[in-house]
Chain A
Amino acid sequence: MKNIGLYLHIPFCKSKCPYCDFYSFSGKDAQKDEYTRVLKDKILSSISTLQNDSSCKSDTLYIGGGTPSVLGAKNLATLVNACNSGFLTDDAEITVECNPYGLDEDFFKILYDCGVNRLSLGLQSAVDSERRILGRLSDRNQVEKAVNTAQKVGFNNITLDVMLGVPNQTEQSLNETLDFCISLGVPHISAYMLKLEENTHFYKNQHKYSFPDDDLTADLYLQMCEALENQGIMQYEISNFAKKGFESRHNLKYWHCEEYLGLGPSAHSFLDGKRFYFDRDFQAFMNGNSPIDDGFGGDFTEYAMLNLRLVEGLNESKVLERFGHKIPQEMYKKSQIFIDNGYMTKNENSLALTRKGFLMSNTILAEIL
């Protein structure tokens, strides 16, 4: 008996944001209904296969995208119900990503009633001038209204996405955004430093914007970590912060290198030591194409790479339990210079990156792994 994570990808968005390279497009209503039907069938067949092979259940469900909320509450409920038919555990964490634009009380009610217990809202910034550059359709007041409505309906586990390194962002403007989040009383915040991904509007037009440089972005990051922790919203991953008990259980599965099944175009899976994914191709998925093999996963390097994203870091006893050996001495040796200079910490049972180390994690991982 094992518990995996379940991820559903909803590839629709009202419009494409200039920084986003996730797989999405603006679909027609009929397409959305059709997709819901196909995805639902896929869920049911996958569940039955999984349950036949092993007594497998799922204790997290994450509906992401794209923008799942554009699918409409009814379709979302259909999908949640499909998963829920005996496959989700009673205490499962069920998250839906939403764009706060145009969501009313009914929407939240339907989700709440079908068992959704966690909402992820894309705020990005509470400064309207920044929101416009980021292509957000709503203004700050609409986000506030959406959060208040969701809370009224009964959602207490809400997370907001915040972005660092937005064009024209300053320490003051970031403070404004953080104050806004804190004032709404949400228990979880994801704060991502903007990365210019190829094939995005920002990447192709980067000369037209004034992005904060790496030094300023690093300063903003440290400022944010402190400001949130002062409010009891503690960092637990490079880009994630939560009040105690509100850490994202689904995302922790990725970082703990645990198993998950992803359904929908571009969704990735890790099951029985194998990684595979559905192509970034809507029609292929609708046609029932099989996922693409992505090789074996879960070796020590991968495990370390993922766990070192977490504040708790790499745990000696967990490594021993999973791999039958301790953290290699060689890795401690290579880490020493970073430990000596405040980029990493080591105690009896773990090796972890500090905040300063998180900022340099690519360099450090390339060095020690």
Chain B
Amino acid sequence: MKKQNIRNFSIIAHIDHGKSTLADRLLELTETVAKRDMTEQLLDNMDLERERGITIKAHAVKLDYKAQDGETYELNLIDTPGHVDFNYEVSRSLAACEGAVLIIDASQGVEAQTLANTYLALDHDLELVPVINKIDLPAADPDRVANEVEEVIGLPCDEAPRVSAKTGENIGAVLESIVNLVPPPENNDDKPLRALVFDSVYDSYKGVIVYVRVMDGKIKPSDTMRMMATGAEFTVVEVGYMRPNAMEPQKELTSGEVGYITASIKTVSDARVGDTVTTAENPASEALAGYRKVNPMVFCGVYPADGADYENLREALEKLQLNDAALSFEPETSGALGFGFRCGFLGLLHLEIIQERLEREYNLDLVTTIPSVIYKVHLTNGDVIEIDNPSHYPDPAVIDYCEEPTVEAHIYAPPEYIGAIMNLCQDRRGVYVNTTHLASDRVDLHYILPLNEIIYDFFDVLKSRTRGYASFDYEMSDYQRSSIIKLDVLLNGDIIDALSFMIHSEKAYAKARRIAEKLKDNIPRQMFEIPIQMAIGGKVIARETVKAMRKDVLAKCYGGDITRKKKLLEKQKEGKKRMRHFGTVEVPQEAFMAVLKLDDE
């Protein structure tokens, strides 16, 4: 394939503006997928993604397109994940492209992520191909939206295809725009190999499949590939292109191309996203810019609801880790929950995804504890210990002071939301740095925020307070001295270690009251009264009581239908099994979840 006929692009959009549907149509139109093979939104091939309507991990696919000029083009569509937890993956996917299709909803117009994604694409010098989608909606107003895009983003929209990905109307114009607007890759075949890893997936037959964009040089089977960040070397087994339903082996991949490499690599942590592949035979002198090892930043305990599932949970975590270099775990024991694992995640969404995959794909019932960041605790004897687990928190008497991790956060939003955002950041103990006016209707608020204030729900609250118009990005900053204390939950007088968590002292009282209330609402009434106490050290700072249940009876025996009654009894016993037992107190999983989600309201 001539380099001039290659087009490497991503599709970027605000959530729900139709990214996956458009991708499906492009696949259909280029006959990459026979129509009968189409399931809705083919690119999102994990169940979870399809259900949540978000793309979690990047995928790529090669389409062959015969354009109106009579030439056949090789279009490489690189999909991108759509959440702040995975911003780094997004940036690597974009770095693999020359262009990006920017979808704008014909009724909603420019939204927060439209802008955030546009900036991200422009950071990588991508050529933008605006597409106005959903013109089939009654509320569609493509003229207004086109104006808005020109005004807000400064992107000319006269020629922008107006399409309906849903009905398939005018999709051909999108393909023509990609061919005409996105520049072909440079021909750097003569240079030493440098290929950017933008995704890697574990396959039980082939080992890790490394998805790459070749920037310079060539790679072929039997080459010795070298990962430039880790130095690990492997013998290449196979290279090729990704098709929607199959891999298509090739003799070689050359500069400008997008494809996969397999080399019997055992775990994705040996082929991390962002790393550069070169060859041992003719190594490049310098790696591609932008590699970063992503480290877990949020930790929580993950326990099997049924203790007998401990081994199954370990196996499941091991399997997930093969495919997810950002997931970490090690065994831990809780007085309340028994044997489980302390797991590390990129952020709260990542945590939820892993949890759901464990529950669905591995059929495990789980209880998770409140997430924590890593605190540095300075002891009076001069030692410094790192704590990501409240139950390891030392006796306050031997603590000199604590430090907590902070992030540099940038929040992009229209100026009318500055007040709301400042309130939120203040509430989250943020330190204001500065404001930059990006455009007449766009500001960048720069804050230093404690990481533990943003891991739960910061993004969700931000979106709701700015009606979805704010976008948010952050990077890790340094540790800062802070008044962190441990808050304990006592049920019926016993500390429930799995519910303990670390918090800034100023916020402890309000939070303690809310947790006590939340627990009261979520712990079902039981045979006996249950006192709920929140305590710092031994001092109780909030209390509630779950009153004893009075009535749980089947008044009528359904005539002679004894089986029905028996089934009800079985169901009741089954329900008991799902509860966590603390002495005589039964706590449903939802109560843990309720405490976890405390900041949602």
Residue among A215, A297, A361 making CB contact with B554, cutoff 8 Å: A361
Residues in B neighbouring A358, C-beta threshold 8 A: 553
| Proximity bits, A343-369, B CB within 8 Å = 1, else 0 | 100000000000000111111111101
Q: How far is the CA of A192 from the CA of B528 in the complex (A)?
A: 25
Contacts A193-B553, A217-B551: A7 and B559 contacting too (C-beta < 8 A)? yes
Pairwise interchain contact B553-A361, C-beta atoms closer than 8 A: yes
Query: Is A294 in the interface zone, CB < 8 Å from B?
Result: yes
Q: How far is the CA of A251 from the CA of B556 in the complex (A)?
A: 11
Residues in A neighbouring B554, C-beta threshold 8 A: 195, 361-362
Residues in A neighbouring B565, C-beta threshold 8 A: 305
Query: Is B563 in the interface zone, CB < 8 Å from A?
Result: yes
Query: Is A309 in the interface zone, CB < 8 Å from B?
Result: yes
Query: Is A277 in the interface zone, CB < 8 Å from B?
Result: yes
Contacts A238-B553, A360-B550, A366-B573: A262 and B568 contacting too (C-beta < 8 A)? no
Pairwise interchain contact A277-B528, C-beta atoms closer than 8 A: no
Contacts A360-B549, A360-B550: A277 and B555 contacting too (C-beta < 8 A)? no
Interface size on B, residues (CB 8 A): 26
Q: How far is the CA of A185 from the CA of B116 in the complex (A)?
A: 80
Q: How far is the CA of A309 from the CA of B569 in the complex (A)?
A: 13
Pairwise interchain contact B562-A306, C-beta atoms closer than 8 A: yes
Residues in B neighbouring A295, C-beta threshold 8 A: 563
Contacts A360-B527, A363-B527: A255 and B569 contacting too (C-beta < 8 A)? no
Residue among B528, B553, B559, B566 making CB contact with A305, cutoff 8 Å: B566
Stretch at the interface among A88-96, A264-272, A324-332: A264-272
Residue among A7, A238, A361 making CB contact with B560, cutoff 8 Å: A7
Contacts A217-B551, A360-B527: A297 and B569 contacting too (C-beta < 8 A)? no
Q: How far is the CA of A64 from the CA of B559 in the complex (A)?
A: 9
Pairwise interchain contact A302-B553, C-beta atoms closer than 8 A: no
A357 to chain B, nearest CB (A): 9
Pairwise interchain contact A294-B549, C-beta atoms closer than 8 A: no
Residue among A195, A214, A366 making CB contact with B569, cutoff 8 Å: A366
Query: Is A218 in the interface zone, CB < 8 Å from B?
Result: yes
Among B549, B552, B584, max chain A CB count under 10 A is at B552
Q: How far is the CA of A336 from the CA of B569 in the complex (A)?
A: 20
Smallest Cβ-Cβ distance to B526: which chain A residue: A363
Query: Is A118 in the interface zone, CB < 8 Å from B?
Result: no
Q: How far is the CA of A87 from the CA of B115 in the complex (A)?
A: 86
Residues in B neighbouring A363, C-beta threshold 8 A: 526-527, 549, 552, 572
Query: Is B481 in the interface zone, CB < 8 Å from A?
Result: no
Pairwise interchain contact B527-A277, C-beta atoms closer than 8 A: no
Q: How far is the CA of A275 from the CA of B559 in the complex (A)?
A: 13
Contacts A214-B551, A218-B551: A362 and B569 contacting too (C-beta < 8 A)? yes
Query: Is A241 in the interface zone, CB < 8 Å from B?
Result: no
Query: Is B576 in the interface zone, CB < 8 Å from A?
Result: yes
Residue among B528, B561, B566, B568 making CB contact with A302, cutoff 8 Å: B566
Pairwise interchain contact A297-B555, C-beta atoms closer than 8 A: no
Pairwise interchain contact A239-B527, C-beta atoms closer than 8 A: no
Q: How far is the CA of A359 from the CA of B584 in the complex (A)?
A: 19
Pairwise interchain contact B566-A262, C-beta atoms closer than 8 A: no
Smallest Cβ-Cβ distance to A309: which chain B residue: B557
| Proximity bits, B558-582, A CB within 8 Å = 1, else 0 | 0111110110110011011000000
B410 to chain A, nearest CB (A): 46
Residue among A239, A301, A359 making CB contact with B556, cutoff 8 Å: A239
Residues in B neighbouring A260, C-beta threshold 8 A: 560
Smallest Cβ-Cβ distance to B574: which chain A residue: A366
Q: How far is the CA of A276 from the CA of B557 in the complex (A)?
A: 16
| Proximity bits, A246-269, B CB within 8 Å = 1, else 0 | 000001001101001010000111
Interface size on A, residues (CB 8 A): 50
A251 to chain B, nearest CB (A): 8
Residues in A neighbouring B563, C-beta threshold 8 A: 268, 275, 294-295, 297
The binding surface of chain B is classed by DSSP as loop
Pairwise interchain contact A359-B550, C-beta atoms closer than 8 A: yes
B550 to chain A, nearest CB (A): 4
Q: How far is the CA of A260 from the CA of B573 in the complex (A)?
A: 28
Contacts A359-B552, A360-B549: A268 and B561 contacting too (C-beta < 8 A)? yes
Residues in B neighbouring A302, C-beta threshold 8 A: 562, 566
Residues in B neighbouring A309, C-beta threshold 8 A: 557
A290 to chain B, nearest CB (A): 17
Q: How far is the CA of A364 from the CA of B526 in the complex (A)?
A: 11
Q: How far is the CA of A238 from the CA of B551 in the complex (A)?
A: 12
Q: How far is the CA of A192 from the CA of B555 in the complex (A)?
A: 5
A250 to chain B, nearest CB (A): 10
Pairwise interchain contact B550-A218, C-beta atoms closer than 8 A: yes
Pairwise interchain contact B552-A254, C-beta atoms closer than 8 A: no
Query: Is A320 in the interface zone, CB < 8 Å from B?
Result: no
Pairwise interchain contact B552-A361, C-beta atoms closer than 8 A: yes
Pairwise interchain contact A366-B561, C-beta atoms closer than 8 A: no
Pairwise interchain contact A362-B556, C-beta atoms closer than 8 A: no
Query: Is A184 in the interface zone, CB < 8 Å from B?
Result: no
Contacts A302-B566, A363-B549: A239 and B555 contacting too (C-beta < 8 A)? yes
Residues in A neighbouring B551, C-beta threshold 8 A: 193, 214-215, 217-218, 221, 359-360
Q: How far is the CA of A309 from the CA of B558 in the complex (A)?
A: 13
Residues in A neighbouring B576, C-beta threshold 8 A: 366-367
Residues in A neighbouring B550, C-beta threshold 8 A: 214-215, 218, 359-360
Residues in B neighbouring A238, C-beta threshold 8 A: 553, 555
B313 to chain A, nearest CB (A): 27
Pairwise interchain contact B572-A262, C-beta atoms closer than 8 A: no
Residues in A neighbouring B568, C-beta threshold 8 A: 362
Residues in B neighbouring A254, C-beta threshold 8 A: 557, 559-560, 562
Pairwise interchain contact A297-B527, C-beta atoms closer than 8 A: no
Query: Is A341 in the interface zone, CB < 8 Å from B?
Result: yes
Q: How far is the CA of A212 from the CA of B230 in the complex (A)?
A: 68
A258 to chain B, nearest CB (A): 11
Residues in B neighbouring A361, C-beta threshold 8 A: 552-554
Residues in B neighbouring A267, C-beta threshold 8 A: 559-560
B574 to chain A, nearest CB (A): 9
Pairwise interchain contact A277-B561, C-beta atoms closer than 8 A: yes
A351 to chain B, nearest CB (A): 17
Q: How far is the CA of A218 from the CA of B565 in the complex (A)?
A: 21
17 A-B contact pairs sorted by A residue (CB < 8 Å): A64-B559, A193-B555, A214-B551, A221-B551, A238-B555, A251-B557, A260-B560, A294-B563, A306-B557, A309-B557, A338-B527, A359-B550, A359-B552, A359-B553, A361-B552, A362-B569, A365-B572
Which residues does B use to contact A, with CB under 8 Å? Answer: 526-528, 549-557, 559-563, 565-566, 568-569, 572-573, 575-576, 584
Q: Across chains A and B, which 4 residue pairs bring their CB atoms closest together, nearest first?
A: A218-B550, A268-B560, A366-B572, A193-B555
| Supplied contacts A217-B551, A341-B528, 7 more A-B pairs, CB within 8 Å | A254-B557, A270-B560, A294-B563, A362-B569, A363-B526, A365-B569, A366-B575
